[in-house]
Amino acid sequence: MREATLRDVAELAGVSPRTVSNVVNGYAKVTELTREKVERAIAQLGYRPNVLARHLATGRSGQIVVMVPYLDTPYFAELLQAIIPVARREGYNVLIDQSDGDREHEGQLIGQASHHALFDGMIYSPLGLSQEDLSGRDPALPLVVLGERTSEANFDHVGIDDVAASTEAVQHLIGLGRCRIAAIGDQPYPTGEAAQRRTKGFRAAHAAAGLAVDESLVIGTPRFNRVDGAQAMERLLALENPPDAVFCYSDLVALGAVHTLVRRGFRVPEDVAVIGYDDIEDGRYGLPTISTIAPDKQEIARLAVERLVMRIKSKEPVAGVDLRAGHRLIARQSTLAQ
Amino acid sequence: MREATLRDVAELAGVSPRTVSNVVNGYAKVTELTREKVERAIAQLGYRPNVLARHLATGRSGQIVVMVPYLDTPYFAELLQAIIPVARREGYNVLIDQSDGDREHEGQLIGQASHHALFDGMIYSPLGLSQEDLSGRDPALPLVVLGERTSEANFDHVGIDDVAASTEAVQHLIGLGRCRIAAIGDQPYPTGEAAQRRTKGFRAAHAAAGLAVDESLVIGTPRFNRVDGAQAMERLLALENPPDAVFCYSDLVALGAVHTLVRRGFRVPEDVAVIGYDDIEDGRYGLPTISTIAPDKQEIARLAVERLVMRIKSKEPVAGVDLRAGHRLIARQSTLAQ
């Protein structure tokens, strides 16, 4: 006996093939009565929709993956909440992968996904892999990388202008009359590209103001968490001549730095002004509230999803582009006293 | 010309097929020199590993999905951090789906996944679908549901004993001499099964102590968030005879309730004692710290993954079981003054 088809089910149930498809895929826009008729016909004919085989033919699964280093980092949590509804509106479901910044894991998932019809595309926030690593990947998987591009590639980048944003942040501190400005978060190794762009902006603002950078005030951190900021601030306060302002490479780092300052009896911003990066909710409700660089997360989400969908639908290879979302500086209590 | 095989690549590169597979899958345990040799051979032969076809044969993708209502709810964020490493140790990658508690979305992903080799299995925290909805699903997808079972099913449940835990929470309040105890979080509709078990425990503790439940103290909430707790507490304080203790169905609800109490000038726990549920990090660092029921999240993760892997590997249909993880009551400042 030949295998029952969707058309057979439709005929037996007395409905259109589209309605059968709606029932099979669990779409809600089917009346209870129709659903029952279709389900009875499916059971009677032993029909099994072969979705995988269909995907093998079309190469589409309707799923995209967003790979981020840490799900519980507020910046990524907020960015995911922006990406999910945009992708759903475009007809794609979003699955999320946590890489832990592990180089092997990142390479493995990209490798598997590339040779695979598991996902139609990937939005990827790199931490373990450098741009050089990525440039050698198989181009079969439509890929959009979060962050700025530093080299030619067969995938896209979406990010804000980190150097410009960091320059603005440090110029804000200089504009307040501060002249011993520290930076917390440098990562001078191949995968620390995002951190290095912030250090570049830090230096550019100094140069533009004719200020020399005191290299003892540039502190590296393994991650961008509260603990990194708290520990780096301890080191800065132990200096003979501590800073009067700090540019932190994330709001979590800034929250950690402020924690140390307050605990040690320093006033923020009177003794030390602090500015962060990311505009996460925790910074908006901190005591003091945290001045920050706010990336336009909605625009990042929209650009990343639109570009990925275009790549998924394109039949030709597409050259990589570097798309810039907007950002703005938000001055709060940690740099401007009430 | 016949398609190149993995064995052809191995022969040309002068390495074992296993090494080729390591390179193809991006495993890091390959020297740079070997990787280069293999990559050159792959390019020369135009070899393309057909992972999808292999999966079509074995029906395995190596990916499992965890579907949760909200990624940014701390309880789920913490549970995911427990599930991911356990699954990786078992050889499965974890992809995460946010359902927003949307009935259509939940049904659709389960429906697609069932007819699909996209994922090998699913761990699912239901919110939109009731257990009755789930019982009619296609049994093709190995499924473990988080929460307690209320009916026979062809999938497993993993959860703590909510009724017992809730009874203990309320007995703790009764043991402190409180007798007007409120409950915040009831959800008396089909998808509110988890909430209803907590209400059941609330009533059981009253019955065991010979106390009557004042029905005006049982407050329903649409979700288990801070705002739900804050608003419900407002309603309770507006009563002619407000409660002297509150059992909250999540720590977020408890944090919201405490916020309202403090803002209105009530002392916690002197005027109103508050206990939550979930043992999230925010509650451990609250002012006051929040007493709570702590589910053993590590055990939930271990039981859920082990059971799912067993189902994935089993060739026979497996009857559904109800597995219980442990829990304990942790008394903190919100019920015991310092």
Q: Is A22 on the interface with B (CB under 8 A)?
A: no
pLDDT > 70? residue A150: no
User: Which chain A residues are within 8 Å of B71, Cβ to Cβ?
Assistant: 71, 77, 80-81, 96
C-alpha distances out from residue B311 to A77, B94, B132, B156, B245, Å: 31, 16, 21, 9, 44
Amino acid found at A191 = T
C-alpha to C-alpha distance for B224 and A163, rounded to whole angstroms:
41
- Residue B125 neighbours by CB under 8 Å, 6+ apart: B66, B67, B68, B69, B76, B145, B146, B147
Q: Do B24 and A115 touch (CB under 8 A)?
A: yes
pLDDT tens for A196-254 read 999 999 999 999 999 999 999 999 999 999 999 999 999 999 999 999 999 999 999 99
Amino acid found at B9 = V
Task: pLDDT band for A176, please (50, 70, 90 cuts).
Answer: very high
C-alpha to C-alpha distance for A169 and A331, rounded to whole angstroms:
9
CB A96 within 8 A of CB A65: yes
Amino acid found at B14 = G
User: Which chain A residues are within 8 Å of B110, Cβ to Cβ?
Assistant: 26
Q: What pLDDT does residue B3 have?
A: 64
> A216 is written with which tokens?
């003892």
What are the strands of the beta sheet with A181-186, ordered from one edge? A218-220, A181-186, A245-248, A273-275
Closest chain B residue by Cα to residue A108:
B26
Q: What pLDDT does residue A72 have?
A: 83
pLDDT > 90? residue A52: no
Q: What pLDDT does residue A108 have?
A: 83
Q: What pLDDT does residue B80 have?
A: 95
C-alpha to C-alpha distance for B282 and B336, rounded to whole angstroms:
18
Q: What pLDDT does residue A271 have?
A: 97
* Mean predicted lDDT score pLDDT of chain A: 88
Q: Is B128 on the interface with A (CB under 8 A)?
A: no
> A146 is written with which tokens?
């979060």
User: Which chain B residues are within 8 Å of A84, Cβ to Cβ?
Assistant: 98
- B252, HSE (Cβ side, Cα atoms, 13 Å): 13
Helix axes A193-209, A162-175, angle to 10 degrees: 40
- Residue A72 neighbours by CB under 8 Å, 6+ apart: B77, B78, B81
Task: pLDDT band for A338, please (50, 70, 90 cuts).
Answer: low
Tell me: cis bond preceding B269? Omega within 30 of 0 counts. Answer: yes
CA-based nearest distance B281→chain A, Å? 12
Task: pLDDT band for A263, please (50, 70, 90 cuts).
Answer: very high
Amino acid found at A89 = R
C-alpha to C-alpha distance for A274 and A258, rounded to whole angstroms:
7
Q: Is B225 on the interface with A (CB under 8 A)?
A: no
CB B163 within 8 A of CB B242: no
C-alpha to C-alpha distance for B160 and B309, rounded to whole angstroms:
20
C-alpha to C-alpha distance for A223 and A275, rounded to whole angstroms:
17
- Residue B57 neighbours by CB under 8 Å, 6+ apart: none
Q: Do A97 and B98 touch (CB under 8 A)?
A: no
Q: What pLDDT does residue B78 have?
A: 93
Along the 338 residues of chain B, how does pLDDT read in single tens digits? 466 777 888 889 998 887 887 777 655 567 888 888 888 888 788 776 554 444 445 557 788 999 999 988 899 999 999 999 999 999 899 999 999 988 888 888 887 777 656 788 999 998 888 777 787 777 778 999 998 776 677 889 999 999 999 999 999 999 999 999 999 999 998 888 899 999 999 999 999 999 999 999 999 999 999 999 999 999 999 999 999 999 999 999 999 999 999 999 999 999 999 999 999 998 998 889 999 999 999 999 999 999 999 999 888 888 899 999 999 999 999 999 76
Q: How many CB atoms lie within 10 A of CB A37?
A: 20
Q: What pLDDT does residue B213 have?
A: 97
Q: What pLDDT does residue A135 have?
A: 76
* Burial profile A157-194: b = 16 or more Cβ within 10 angstroms, e = fewer: bbbbbbbebbbbbbbbbbebebebbbbbbbbeeebbbb
CB B234 within 8 A of CB B210: no
What SS3 class is residue B337? Answer: coil
* Burial profile B235-258: b = 16 or more Cβ within 10 angstroms, e = fewer: ebeeeeebbbbbbbbbbbbbbbbb
C-alpha to C-alpha distance for A275 and A296, rounded to whole angstroms:
17
User: Which chain A residues are within 8 Å of B108, Cβ to Cβ?
Assistant: 25-27
Q: Do B96 and A63 touch (CB under 8 A)?
A: no
Highest mean pLDDT among A119-128, A147-156, A317-326, B295-304: B295-304
Residue B136 burial (CB < 10 Å; 0-12/13-18/19+)? Answer: exposed
> A17 is written with which tokens?
């093939």
Q: Do B50 and A115 touch (CB under 8 A)?
A: yes
Written as one string, the DSSP assignment of B127-196 is SSS-HHHHHTS-TTS-EEEES---S--SSEEEE--HHHHHHHHHHHHHHTT--SEEEEEE--STT-HHHH
Q: End-to-end CA distance of chain B, in Å?
A: 80
Helix (H) or strand (E) holding A227: helix A226-237
Q: Is B118 on the interface with A (CB under 8 A)?
A: yes
User: Which chain A residues are within 8 Å of B55, Cβ to Cβ?
Assistant: 116
Residue count of chain B: 338
User: Which chain B residues are within 8 Å of A63, Cβ to Cβ?
Assistant: 118
Q: What pLDDT does residue B116 have?
A: 59
Tell me: cis bond preceding A190? Omega within 30 of 0 counts. Answer: no
> B308 is written with which tokens?
């799912």
What ipTM does this complex have? 0.74
Q: Which residue in the set A49, A77, A110 is minimally distant from B72, CB to CB?
A: A77
CB A261 within 8 A of CB A268: yes
Domains detected in chain A: 6-49 (1.10.260.40), 62-160+297-326 (3.40.50.2300), 162-295 (3.40.50.2300)
Q: Do A52 and B116 touch (CB under 8 A)?
A: yes
C-alpha to C-alpha distance for B40 and A206, rounded to whole angstroms:
47
Answer with the residue of higher pLDDT: A133 or A212.
A212
> A212 is written with which tokens?
């020399």
What SS3 class is residue B242? Answer: coil
Q: How many CB atoms lie within 10 A of CB A220?
A: 16
Instruction: Give residue for tokens 């050698």.
Output: A136
Written as one string, the DSSP assignment of B248-304 is ESSHHHHHHHHHHHHHTT--TTTT-EEE-SS--HHHHTSSSPPBEEEE-HHHHHHHH
C-alpha to C-alpha distance for A251 and A112, rounded to whole angstroms:
34
Q: Do B49 and A115 touch (CB under 8 A)?
A: yes
CB A155 within 8 A of CB A147: no
Q: How many CB atoms lie within 10 A of CB A337?
A: 11
Least confident segment among A96-110, A144-158, A258-272, A306-320:
A144-158
